[in-house]
Amino acid sequence: MPLTDISVRNAKPKEKAYKLSDGDGMYLFVPPRGKKCWRMKYRFAGKEKLLAFGVYPDISLADARERRAIARKTLAAGNDPGEVKKENKRQQAIQSANSFEAVAREWYENRLHTWTPNYAKQVITRMEADVFPRIGHRPIAEITASELLAIGRAIEERGALDIAHRALQCCGQVFTYAIVTERAERNPAADLRGALKPVKKKHYAYLRAHELPEFLTRLEDYDGHPQTKLAMKFLILTFVRTAELRGALWTEIDFDKAEWRIPAERMKMRDPHIVPLSRQALAVLRELQPLTGHWKHVFPNQHKPSGHMSENTLLYAIYRMGYHSRATGHGFRATASTILNENSFRTDVIERQLAHAERNNIRAAYNHAQYLKERREMMQWWADYLDRAATGEQKVIVGKFR
């Protein structure tokens, strides 16, 4: 006699396990302890076999009967429903392992050692916010260009054009990785070149040569925290990236060699970098030593000295000096590059000191010391130039800006 919902619900455990049959080989198995579950006996190729449909009440009587009907159709077609179930599970596992998110996270882990922590965080945050919710679950080999375009368009709609381009660029790199690891055959992101709105390239605001004297005068008169003032001076003298400056460690400074050696893990392109220190830069560091020399960082966080200076400290100082939208910390790289190029320093020497990307990985491993003699001379010239700019005098004044 077929089961009813009430009889299934009221089936209680007994001292020994028992079965309640629903016909066509299916029954409810009731153990002494644990959950009730659905099973089906069947014969295939002359052998008796058992198929599990799941536990009750997760699988209702109606659900179990539906699964029984599918199993009987499979048998009628000459296939073993147990083996078909195993194969389906295997395919699901493969699809799960080859989902876009699974492959993307694998790609991310493989690339992680080549990125700075800040960039790595940007990449995974972008993927988790904009990409994974839409296509993360999809088998990577089945994703189409139109699905990727929908992601880009959605990001565009909130006005984040640059993020839209970067998100699809990351997707393209994930597909390239999937191809070489034999999880996909083509890269649909390549079909989207020119499909998104173009990004108007933003340039960091920077000072021109004729603006330096006034800025340096205001910096000398800056009445904020002394460490911030010295950090600004050191940034102008070395024209490193602000993240590299903020993370500077005293252990990276060699006073005897007049060098600041920044390790690869703190550089944007993950290549070690040498910053020759002018007499003026060394003077700034010696002035800093009584203030911060007992801490790990050259420029510690004023509220939490075990960490480094916050991201906005220098920018807010520039604002306080009256240069909102007229200058940025990063902009001093453009100021130095422009003036050094105009004063006939070799472009290769300037680019190496700016630590711009070297696309040849083998060369990049040795580039930190390239043109070092010329770079020392150039950095001292630059510091002397700043002294003259600060005073309006032609005579070089060593050790200070004015």
Which residues have CB under 8 Å from 367's CB, separation 6+?
A: 271, 352, 358
First to last CA, the chain: 102
Q: Give the per-residue pLDDT at 393.
A: 62
Q: Which residue has the higher pLDDT, 47 or 398?
A: 47
Q: What's the pLDDT tens digit per position in 270-320?
A: 788 999 999 999 999 999 999 999 999 999 998 888 889 998 899 999 999
- Write down the pTM of the prediction: 0.56
Which residues have CB under 8 Å from 212's CB, separation 6+?
A: 335, 386, 389, 390
Query: Which DSSP string do the residues of 107-169 spell out, in sequence order?
Result: HHHHHGGGS-HHHHHHHHHHIIIIIHHHHTTSBGGG--HHHHHHHHHHHHHTT-HHHHHHHHH
**Please, what are the domains in the chain?**
5-84 (3.30.160.390), 100-192 (1.10.150.130), 209-391 (1.10.443.10)
Residue that is written with structure tokens 């009813």 in the block: 4
Distances (CA, A) of 38 to 63, 94, 208, 348: 10, 27, 79, 74
DSSP count for the chain of H helices, then E strands: 17, 7
Active site residues: 241, 268, 330, 333, 356, 366
**Residue 96's pLDDT band (boundaries 50, 70, 90)?**
low
Sign of the torsion angle spanned by Cα atoms 254, 257, 258, 260: negative
Instruction: Classify 50 as helix, strand or coil.
Output: strand
Whether residue 1 has pLDDT greater than 80: no
CA distance 297 to 246: 8
For residue 146, give both structure tokens: 């139109």
Q: What's the pLDDT tens digit per position in 160-197?
A: 888 899 999 999 999 999 999 988 999 999 999 888 88
Are 354 and 265 in contact by the 8 Å Cβ rule? The answer is: no
Q: What's the pLDDT tens digit per position in 42-76?
A: 999 889 999 999 999 999 999 999 999 999 999 99
For residue 13, give both structure tokens: 């455990």
